[in-house]
Amino acid sequence: MPTAALRIAVLASGRGSNLAAVLTASASGRLPVRVVGVFSDRRDCGALAIAGQHQVPAHALNPRQFASRGDFDTALFAAIDRVQPGLIVCAGFMRILSAAVVGPRSQTLINIHPALLPKYTGLHTHARALAAGDSEHGASVHFMIPKLDAGPVIAQTRIAILADDNADTLAARLLPHEHQLLIQSIALFTQHRIGHQHGQVLIDGSVLEVPLRF
List residues with catalytic annotation.
113
Give rounded-to-5 percent helix, strand, coil for the chain. Answer: 35, 25, 40
d(CA 34, CA 32): 7
Cβ atoms of 167 and 115 within 8 Å: the answer is: no
Phi and psi torsions of 163, nearest 5°: -60, -30
d(CA 163, CA 147): 33
For 111-161, the DSSP string reads EEESS-TTS--SS-HHHHHHHTT-SEEEEEEEE--SSTT-SPEEEEEEEEP
